[in-house]
Each structure stands twice: as C-alpha cells, then as structure tokens.
Amino acid sequence: VLSDDQAELIANMARGFSLNANAKGLIFDGIPEAVVRAEYCGIACQSRIDFYSHEHGVIDLKTCDDLTWFEADAKRYGYAYQMAFYRAMVRIATGNTVPVHFIAIEKKVPFRCGVWRVSDQLLDACQAENEASIERMKRYIETDIWLTGYEEIRVFDSF
C-alpha cells in the first residue's frame, strides 16, 4: 500500500521517464526483473537484473536526488562493480557480452531522466576487481582468516 505522497512521487517520476525517448526505447522489449543463476569464479551466484533486453543488454534503473550529480553518485556507490557482475553473469548464461546502461530518474522536481551507456573498459576493469575479490573471499572461507584490506598504514595526502 502506498501513501498519497508516494503515489504522487511515482507518477511524477513516471512522467519524467516518459519524456526521455532513449529511456523508453531501452525497455521497450525485454525481461523485467531478469534472474540469472550461474557458477561464477567457482561459486554459485545469482543476479536480479532490473531489465534485460536482447537488443540493448543490461539496463539498471536508478533514482537520484539530482541528475547533475548522478555520475559522481554512481562512482561513490560503486554501481559499475554491480553492472560488471551482471554483465559477467549474462555472458556465462548466454555466451554473449552485452552492453550495459543506466537509466536514472530524479526523485524531485523537475523529475529529469537520463541514460548512460557504461563503457566496456570500465566494466572490464571492475570485472577484474570483482573476480580478485571473489578469489580473496574463497581464501578467507578456506582459512577462516578474514582480512580487511586495512592491515597496513596508509598515506592520506588528499586536499
């Protein structure tokens, strides 16, 4: 059950989405909430992709406060790592390397909507980091020694 305010917000966001032809085109035909299960790096994994299109690949829907800062938010929250995982799972399941897109919609006036194609180079780099993390996790499980990555003194030199 939604409150009146929640229903109004969703309707406004839907209107903002409907004004972006690229966003509408990406999810014209495909599978919403697509589930992919596969063995990845020797571990049984599952992903739930917001939308999968045979033509456009992985499409992830994001909400944000201000579309101007979406790219900074995506970097801060590590969205590319999530998308690299989804792309890798689709590759295992289908044998195809697919494109990846974000559709971001503001949660406040003017409810702007934007579309980004995530670069293959970024996804490749994030996939390599994901796989290295999975290998570390497997070692931690085997040894029951869980390192944090902060065992050494670090240098702080940012302004």
Angstrom CA distances, 60 to 37, 50, 148, stand at: 18, 5, 29
Closest residue by Cα to residue 138 from 48, 44, 47, 46 = 44
What are the Cα distances from residue 86, in Å, to 18, 47, 99, 119, 130? 26, 6, 11, 14, 11
Spell out the per-residue pLDDT of the chain, length 159, in tens.
899 999 999 999 999 999 999 999 999 899 999 999 999 999 999 999 999 999 999 999 999 999 999 999 999 999 999 999 999 999 999 999 999 999 999 999 999 999 999 999 999 999 999 999 999 999 999 999 999 889 999 999 988
DSSP E strands, 66-140: 100-106, 113-117
Q: Does the global pTM surpass 0.75?
A: yes
Question: What tokens were used for 56?
Answer: 């456009």
CB 62 within 8 A of CB 69: no
Q: What strand order describes the sheet that includes 57-64?
A: 31-40, 43-53, 57-64, 100-106, 113-117
Q: What is the 8-class DSSP label of residue 143?
A: H
Q: Report the C-alpha gap between 133 and 154 in whole angstroms.
A: 20
Query: d(Cα 101, Cα 112) in Å, to the nearest integer?
Result: 17
- Reduce the DSSP state of residue 26 to 3 states and report it: helix
Rounded-to-integer distance, Cα 56 and Cα 34, Å: 14
